[in-house]
A and B are shown apart, each in its own frame.
Chain A
Amino acid sequence: MNKPLPRWRRNLLSFSAMIGFFLLWELICRALGVSELVLPVPSQIAAVLIDKMPVLWPHTQQTLMTTLIGFFLGVFIGLLIGVIIGSSRVAYDIAYPLLVGFSSIPKVAVVPIFVVWFGSGTIPAILTSMVIGIFPVVVNVATGLATTEPELEDVLRVLGAKKRDILWNVGLPRTLPYLFASLKIALTSAFIGTVLAETVASNKGIGNVMMIASGNFDVPLVFAGLFILAALGVALYSVSALVESRFTSWTQRGKGSEAA
């Protein structure tokens, strides 16, 4: 194996890779004379972004809020279901096939149902992102709880701890790494759910903007929307990675301190 590079060099390299990607894009498009109706160049997209930002900003906020609300609802419900089916073998066996069934429904298919129930707008978008986020959380939390070493639980059981004490002091902390792994997945998929619902049935949000722009053949605006989505996605992912490293530092041993 190669030796890992120092942190600043890694950051520098990935940053230059990003710049290089856009440069290459720009150069190839200009060299081949690609029409802006097919693939606009990055500089043009950036210009559109700056130019249209006052219009785009409320939609960005809308998409972000919808995603976050859907995500938190999904995590809350997922955590609840995960704890229930993770702490009981019977519940696990009964509920698992049902969950697999629900999760294998393509989420595009539920949007029309939500529209029928709640009308087009923000609520179907929130519900779609929530529904997508639930499953990974449930599976990971249930797995984490179900695989907790009985010895760790015995430590508390002999002290006369109640089930709730054990869940709170052993089960849940032990499950945190699993939970955070699922949060990253849930967050990115909640984002997909939002944009999906916005494109199908909404009059607000980046998804909607892109839909309308493509209808008007305003391809640079479509790409501007895509850039905003990418930026939001990266930002959300970084936040969840940061929170994760704060709460589950114990799984990343050997960093900053050596063994005694």
Chain B
Amino acid sequence: MTDTSSTSANRPMIELSDVTVRYGGNVVALDNTTLRIDKGDFVALVGPSGCGKSTILKLVAGLLEPTAGAAIVGGREVGAIGSHAKRLGLAFQNPTMLPWLSILDNVMIPLKIVEPFRQDYRRKRKGEFRERAEALLEQVGLAGFGNKRPWQLSGGMLQRASLCRALVHEPDILLLDEPFGALDQFTREELWDTMQDLWINRRPTVLLVTHDLRESAYLANRICVMSSRPGRIIEDQRVTFARPRTLESSYQADFTSLVQSLRMSIADARAPSSAQNTEPRPSLEEVSA
């Protein structure tokens, strides 16, 4: 396979340089943001709601183009023709399974679209590709559910399937937009472990957007805290806990104090905007756990 990154081995996988994004002329979603993410890193973006976390993700995914500045993913400017030289995998908060396909067919969608798999799709979808998708489903604890329809599965199961779909074409970059946000606490923690295993085994570059600070501390190598709108990155912190991290380790003092300090940073970040804002906002309940 030809790989353009061989010439630029030291270049970050994701490079946002002084990026500004404006919606509809006035609303500044992202203001002069610079963010570099190395190959194989696991970065979490946290911040108050509406701070532009998802905007960064959409930018990297190529669903948005920057108003100003440059967004370079895998050595190519996003939005440019052929910008999908690097493979992307994406999982949203909503599993967005296509209801007319079985779970297995849903997981195999990227193989139907992305080169070089799509050329072989007709030939291999019954054999090799099917086995690959089934192996992934087994890895996340969904063995034997491939022939079910999406509406026959619970929310947590759908989210697992959605992770499989994001990974089946072995993406270089995995983009996760609050993938566990709609799940209950127990399912969420279970899926953290699933996610961690997948990352340890495959080492994709991961960008995780979340509002759950424990989640970010559990999963990421690096946590970027963003300010409220217009969003900027105000803190960039390494997480050095040994892997694999476990639920027990997430209740130890250093973990708790990291979460605590993140929480303080976000409280500071919210301060200027809440001063202007007359209506009281609820506090960040999700970190109180």
User: Could you tell me which A residues sit within 8 Å of B by CB distance?
Assistant: 149, 151-152, 154-161, 165, 169-170, 173-174, 176, 248, 250-251, 253, 257-260
Interface of A is mostly: helix
Task: Tell me which of A149, A158, A174 contacts B88 (CB under 8 A).
Answer: A158
The answer to whether A155 and B152 touch across the interface, beta carbons within 8 angstroms, is no
The answer to whether B63 and A260 touch across the interface, beta carbons within 8 angstroms, is no
The answer to whether B96 and A152 touch across the interface, beta carbons within 8 angstroms, is yes
Report which residue of B88, B113, B151 has the largest number of chain A beta carbons within 10 angstroms of its beta carbon: B113
Task: Tell me which of B113, B145, B149 contacts A159 (CB under 8 A).
Answer: B113
The answer to whether B149 and A170 touch across the interface, beta carbons within 8 angstroms, is no
CB distance from B65 to the nearest CB of A (A): 13
The answer to whether B157 and A260 touch across the interface, beta carbons within 8 angstroms, is yes
30 sample A-B contacts, Cβ–Cβ < 8 Å, listed by A number: A151-B94, A151-B96, A152-B96, A152-B98, A154-B63, A154-B92, A155-B90, A157-B63, A158-B62, A158-B88, A158-B175, A159-B169, A160-B62, A160-B84, A160-B113, A160-B114, A169-B98, A173-B98, A173-B100, A174-B98, A176-B100, A250-B99, A250-B149, A253-B149, A253-B152, A259-B152, A259-B154, A260-B148, A260-B152, A260-B153
B residues less than 8 Å from A160 (CB atoms): 62, 83-84, 88, 113-114
Docked Cα-Cα span, A174 to B97, in Å, equals: 12
Which residues of B from 104 to 152 have beta carbons under 8 Å from A? 109-110, 112-114, 145, 148-149, 151-152
The answer to whether B152 and A170 touch across the interface, beta carbons within 8 angstroms, is no
A residues less than 8 Å from B153 (CB atoms): 259-260
**Is B61 located at the chain interface by the 8 A CB criterion?**
yes
A161 touching B154 in the complex, CB below 8 Å, given contacts A151-B94, A173-B100:
no
Docked Cα-Cα span, A159 to B96, in Å, equals: 14
CB distance from A254 to the nearest CB of B (A): 8
Docked Cα-Cα span, A156 to B90, in Å, equals: 10
